[in-house]
Chain A
Amino acid sequence: DTAVSQTPKYLVTQMGNDKSIKCEQNLGHDTMYWYKQDSKKFLKIMFSYNNKELIINETVPNRFSPKSPDKAHLNLHINSLELGDSAVYFCASSQVGGRLEAFFGQGTRLTVV
């Protein structure tokens, strides 16, 4: 069983479109994250949810809207896609407190053309 799974793995879309990336974790963790890895391979956190509540929003454009229907899911919706949104997006989860070891999904490679 995959601990943190993201869909789709690849996403190619045109500028101006709206797209969503889904993430699910089966680890029973209460915190989930979205990270973005740009073309220079720099990994940066975007959002974090703890028990469906937003706890981190790292100055991300409001075209990006995370949604957490329950603590096992954290989806990322992106409106009006721009060329600069092209990147690999990683979902992660952890149990806040204790070791705080995070588990990452395999990533979604988004290409905006």
Chain B
Amino acid sequence: DAKTTQPPSMDCAEGRAANLPCNHSTISGNEYVYWYRQIHSQGPQYIIHGLKNNETNEMASLIITEDRKSSTLILPHATLRDTAVYYCIVRVASSSNTGKLIFGQGTTLQVKP
């Protein structure tokens, strides 16, 4: 699985959009970009994933660059409850994959009032 690089920490004002970047310059053509987050003292939570097209769900949007070497997770209206560590993970999604997630250090997002 490809390695990812994320800034260690970011701040965001409550109500504003939080844009969390991730670099994955060695991503392979069959690897997806996944985002998880871990709110303090809780288990990681799946947010969104994508291959090459931009994706949106009720939690967030995922913007993947055309060359797929980087992506941005967007929380459109951050709330205090979005304060968490956000993990960008790149991996193959197939029936032959073990499903193992390799977590890096992630980005600690602090949403401030």
Instruction: Identify the A interface with B (CB < 8 A).
Output: 4, 31, 33, 35, 41-45, 48, 50, 55-56, 90, 92, 94, 96-107
Residues of B within 8 A of A45 (CB): 100-102
Q: Is the CB of A48 within 8 A of B46?
A: no
Residues of A within 8 A of B94 (CB): 97
Q: In the assembly, what is the distance between CA of A90 and CA of B38, in Å?
A: 12
Instruction: Identify the B interface with A (CB < 8 A).
Output: 36, 38, 41-46, 49, 85, 91, 93-95, 97-103, 105
Instruction: Identify the closest chain A residue to B95 (Cβ).
Output: A97
Q: Is the CB of B98 within 8 A of A56?
A: yes
Instruction: Identify the closest chain B residue to A58 (Cβ).
Output: B100
Q: In the assembly, what is the distance between CA of A45 and CA of B44, in Å?
A: 13
Q: In the assembly, what is the distance between CA of A88 and CA of B76, in Å?
A: 31
State which of A4, A96, A105, A106 has its C-beta within 8 Å of the C-beta of B99. A96
Contacts beyond the supplied A42-B105, A99-B49, A106-B43: 9 A-B pairs with Cβ under 8 Å: A42-B103, A45-B102, A48-B99, A48-B100, A56-B100, A98-B95, A100-B99, A102-B46, A105-B43
